């Protein structure tokens, strides 16, 4: 067996032994995002939000390939990245509702969540910010001699940011243990990616000599297999890896987007490839679980999110005076 | 006459200038076909064509860099940097290149470019989509900063900015986009660098800009019911500052308060205070500023509300400085 084959075989074995774990993670994200959408409409989540619905296989497949101590950076579309890393849904929901009990005490909000305990370097509101941060995290791992990898999630539109070109080159030249995960959902906000992007995105990484792979981002096991290879490459000290996941978001870019730019029939077609349905069908076919077990799982996740919402709505808001005092007394510049 | 909405005022100014001058072009992220994330620029591409109004990749360095190069080569570009916070990425072309070119080239070519950007807090957008970029640009000779507070000014000042030969940063406060107000005269073009006295009064002068002007006006109404007569100055342009209008007012009222949405350290309010104390010290009984704290902008609604200047905090600050008491205070 070649090294790559072995990694893929190990990944398949892990998925098999984990049974329904990946599906459960994806369900958790989907139900969480549904709840965020409802709460946004009720005026409980503020400002703007960018939901991950439809893209769950990406973060879940990639994060399942990580070890404790690895770190990842997400984007403003970051709830999925956070939950896939194991961030507590309660702490995250409380944060989105601006509560004192949120992972960042209500200071951050949806676009800036940080939870280092769970390896979440941040959800970066600046397009390209995740790439930049992870380049540095990988540099620290390498120079400190720690065998960890750092993963950056970002959209395909981000490949047109200066950070993309500069950091990929930087990481490759220094052979940094970074994994760049380009989640290609076909649109930068409201503009089809091909209208604002010349050539092929993966080819940009290839031109720098970076290891690359493209996987079906609607299939969590395909993502997991590809990510396992990418992570192994980076962890082995062979330099950064670039993983493109071909995916789709089922909701608007942000709260106020009806999605008028979508191509006719595209949303329906992609909904038929819903990563949750794909994985569910596979588990049943493989005999890992039966219909009723999976229904039960779905009910359990839905109830969990209901509880999270209920607790979040009852959680206290931070006190303005205390928050500012704490910040000042913490040695802030 | 029908009222004009702030966002439509901005669009109308772009529309009229695109129609008036072939050299004007407009580009940015999602501005053309989608019409902009704040629904300001819809219809401009249909009317003026995709050679002159177009969408760009997410490439702030390229957008600003291209605007600079185009401006010294016969175009008059207007670009949109979606949120003021993203100006940091565009900084080199604006601060190092565009602002200095007229000087270093010994006036071989001017740099007529306008950067439109949505700024300010209060929308629950958090620390990195709410900032006020004025201090970053304030110390850069060679560019102007325009900061309108009304729809009429937004239109007349944007038209002036597009016709100006210098790079101009044109700030649109997010919480003003839905504001409706009196339209100006057809084809009105304002003069950059001129402040307006928007309320006359004799007890103190309160200076502000953008959203702050509305908070100050609301505070002045409240203060009037309590026997304090505030004069209100809307700066409209933050660089260059209209010192004369502020000085003239302070010489009559003898007190100056400056209200700035932005951190105290390095803010423009400090500059106004310094100018006035240098030039009119003998007229001053008191001079102070109300700003935001030296801290990033919080997301949580109670935190953000407490963080920002408001009519109430302005009224309270005036009472504190004048040693007066709010009428309905039991204190
Ligand atoms: C530097 C910067 N420029 C612009 C934006 C506004 N913005 C937020 S998301 C986005 C589109 C990103 O598209 P893509 O990278 O494809 O990721 P997706 O949102 O599709 O996940 C833009 C332009 C931003 N947040 N940061």
Q: Is the CB of A77 under 6 A from ligand 1?
A: yes
The percent of residues above 90 in pLDDT, for chain B, comes to 97
**What gap in Å lies between CA A98 and CA A105, rounded to an integer?**
7
Which residues pair with residue A213 across a beta bridge? A243
What pLDDT does B326 receive?
80
Q: Is the CB of A163 under 6 A from ligand 1?
A: no
Instruction: Find the closest chain B residue to A94 by CA distance.
Output: B300
> Where in chain A are the domains?
3-316
Q: What b-and-e string marks burial along B58-81, b requiring 16 or more CB atoms within 10 Å of the CB? A: bbbbbbbbbbbbbbbeebbbbbbb
pLDDT tens digits, B115-149:
999 999 999 999 999 999 999 999 999 999 999 99
Judged against a pLDDT cut of 70, whether residue B210 lies above it is answered with: yes
Pairing state of beta strands A241-246 and A211-216?
parallel
Cβ–Cβ < 8 Å for B268, B262: yes
Judged against a pLDDT cut of 60, whether residue B330 lies above it is answered with: no
Which residues pair with residue B180 across a beta bridge? B5
Please confirm, yes or no, whether B22 is among the known catalytic residues. Answer: no
**What gap in Å lies between CA B109 and CA B15, rounded to an integer?**
26
Establish whether domains B4-181 and B196-322 are of one fold.
yes
What pLDDT does A5 receive?
67
Residues on chain A touching B303 (C-beta within 8 angstroms): 98, 106-107, 318, 320, 323
Distance set, CA B104 to CA A170, A212, B300 (Å): 33, 45, 46
A169–chain B Cβ distance below 8 A for any pair: no
CATH topology for B4-181? Rossmann fold (3.40.50)
**Calculated CA dihedral for residues A54, A58, A63, A66, nearest 10 degrees:** 170
B196-322 has which CATH code?
Answer: 3.40.50.920
Q: Is the CB of B82 under 6 A from ligand 1?
A: yes
pLDDT tens digits, B82-124:
999 999 999 999 999 999 999 999 999 999 999 999 999 999 9
A328–chain B Cβ distance below 8 A for any pair: yes
Of the candidates B48, B129, B173, B319, the residue annotated as catalytic is B129
Cβ–Cβ < 8 Å for B65, B71: no
Q: Cα distance from A290 to chain B (closest Cα, Å)?
A: 43
> Where in chain B are the domains?
4-181, 196-322
What pLDDT does B331 receive?
44
Tokens matching residue A103: 């992972």
Cβ–Cβ < 8 Å for A182, A201: yes
**What gap in Å lies between CA B12 and CA A215, rounded to an integer?**
46
Which residue among B33, B58, B62 has the greatest number of ligand 1 atoms within 8 angstroms of its CB, and so is best to mutate? B58
Chain B residues 159-218 with a CB less than 8 Å from chain A: none
**Record: contact B299-A108, CB cut-off 8 A:** yes
pLDDT tens digits, B249-277:
999 999 999 999 999 999 999 999 999 99
A259–chain B Cβ distance below 8 A for any pair: no
Distance set, CA B36 to CA A51, A225, A254, B40, B180 (Å): 20, 39, 13, 6, 19
Task: Report residue A240: phi and psi, to 5°.
Answer: -70, 160
The CATH architecture to which A3-316 belongs is: 3-Layer(aba) Sandwich (3.40)
Atom in ligand 1 nearest the alpha carbon of residue A127: 26
What pLDDT does A331 receive?
86
Of B34, B293, B300, the CB nearest to A98: B300
Kindly state the DSSP code that residue A43 receives in the 8-state scheme.
Answer: T
What is the overall mean pLDDT for chain B? Answer: 97
Polymer length of chain B: 331
Per residue of chain A (333 residues), give pLDDT as tens.
Answer: 566 666 666 666 655 567 899 999 999 999 999 999 999 999 999 999 999 999 999 999 999 999 999 999 999 999 999 999 999 999 999 999 999 999 999 999 999 999 999 999 999 999 999 999 999 999 999 999 999 999 999 999 999 999 999 999 999 999 999 999 999 999 999 999 999 999 999 999 999 999 999 999 999 999 999 999 999 999 999 999 999 999 999 999 987 788 889 999 999 999 999 999 999 999 999 999 999 999 999 999 999 999 999 999 999 999 988 888 889 888 888
A107–chain B Cβ distance below 8 A for any pair: yes
Which residue intervals of B193-242 are DSSP H helices?
211-225
Please confirm, yes or no, whether B173 is among the known catalytic residues. Answer: no
**What gap in Å lies between CA A87 and CA A90, rounded to an integer?**
9
């Amino acid at each position: 067996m070649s090294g790559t084959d072995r990694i893929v075989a190990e990944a398949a074995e892990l998925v098999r032994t984990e049974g329904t774990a990946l599906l459960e993670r994806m369900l958790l994200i989907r139900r969480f995002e549904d709840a965020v959408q409802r709460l946004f409409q009720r005026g409980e989540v503020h400002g703007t939000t960018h939901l991950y619905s439809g893209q769950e296989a990406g973060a879940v497949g990639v994060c399942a390939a990580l070890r404790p101590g690895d770190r990842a950076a997400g984007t403003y579309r970051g709830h999925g990245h956070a939950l896939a890393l194991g961030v507590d849904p309660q702490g995250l929901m409380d944060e989105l509702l601006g509560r004192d009990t949120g992972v960042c005490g209500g200071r951050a909000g949806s676009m800036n969540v940080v939870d280092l305990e769970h390896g979440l370097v941040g959800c970066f509101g600046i397009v390209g910010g995740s790439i930049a941060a992870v380049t540095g995290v990988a540099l620290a791992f390498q120079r400190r001699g720690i065998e960890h990898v750092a993963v950056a999630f970002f959209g395909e539109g981000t490949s047109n940011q200066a950070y993309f070109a500069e950091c990929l080159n930087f990481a490759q030249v220094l052979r940094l243990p970074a994994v760049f995960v380009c989640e290609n959902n076909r649109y930068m906000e409201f503009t089809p990616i091909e209208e604002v992007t010349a050539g092929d995105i993966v080819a940009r990484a290839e031109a720098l000599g970076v290891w690359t792979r493209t996987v079906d981002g609607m299939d969590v096991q395909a993502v997991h297999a590809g990510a396992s290879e990418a992570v192994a490459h980076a962890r082995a000290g062979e330099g950064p890896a670039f993983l493109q996941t071909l995916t789709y978001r089922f909701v608007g870019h942000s709260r106020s987007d009806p999605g008028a730019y979508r191509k006719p029939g595209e949303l329906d077609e992609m909904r038929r490839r819903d990563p949750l349905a794909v994985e569910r069908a596979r588990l049943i076919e493989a005999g890992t679980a039966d219909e009723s077990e999976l229904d039960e799982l779905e009910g359990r996740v839905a109830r969990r999110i209901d509880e999270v919402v209920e607790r979040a709505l009852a959680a206290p808001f931070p006190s303005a005076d205390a928050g500012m005092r704490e910040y000042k007394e913490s040695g802030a510049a | 006459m029908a009222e004009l909405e702030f966002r439509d005022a901005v669009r109308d100014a772009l529309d009229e200038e695109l129609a008036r001058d072939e050299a004007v072009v407009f580009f940015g992220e999602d501005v053309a076909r989608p019409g902009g994330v704040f629904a300001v620029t819809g219809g401009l591409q249909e009317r003026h064509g995709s050679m002159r109004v177009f969408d760009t990749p997410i490439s702030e360095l390229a957008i600003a860099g291209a605007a600079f190069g185009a401006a010294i080569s016969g175009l008059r570009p207007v670009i949109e940097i979606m949120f003021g916070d993203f100006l940091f990425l565009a900084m080199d072309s604006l601060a190092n290149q565009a602002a200095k070119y007229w000087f270093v080239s010994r006036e071989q070519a001017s740099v007529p470019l306008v950067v439109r950007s949505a700024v300010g807090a209060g929308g629950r957008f958090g620390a990195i989509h709410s900032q006020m970029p004025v201090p970053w640009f304030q110390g850069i000779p060679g560019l102007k900063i325009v900061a309108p507070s009304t729809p009429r000014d937004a239109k007349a000042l944007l038209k002036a900015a597009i016709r100006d030969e210098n790079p101009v940063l044109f700030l649109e406060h997010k919480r003003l986009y839905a504001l409706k107000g009196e339209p100006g005269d057809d084809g009105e073009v304002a003069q950059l660098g001129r402040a307006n006295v928007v309320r006359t009064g004799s007890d103190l002068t309160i200076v502000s800009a953008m959203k702050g002007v509305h908070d100050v006006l609301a505070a002045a109404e409240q203060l009037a019911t309590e026997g304090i007569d505030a004069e209100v100055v809307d700066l409209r342009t933050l660089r260059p500052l209209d010192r004369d209008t502020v000085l003239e007012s302070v010489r009559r009222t003898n007190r100056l308060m400056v209200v700035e949405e932005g951190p105290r350290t390095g803010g423009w309010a400090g500059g106004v205070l310094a100018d006035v104390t240098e030039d009119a010290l003998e007229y001053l009984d008191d001079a102070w500023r109300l700003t935001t704290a030296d801290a990033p902008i919080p997301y949580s609604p109670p935190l953000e509300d407490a963080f920002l200047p408001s009519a109430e905090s302005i009224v309270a600050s005036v009472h504190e400085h004048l040693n007066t008491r709010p009428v309905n205070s039991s204190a």
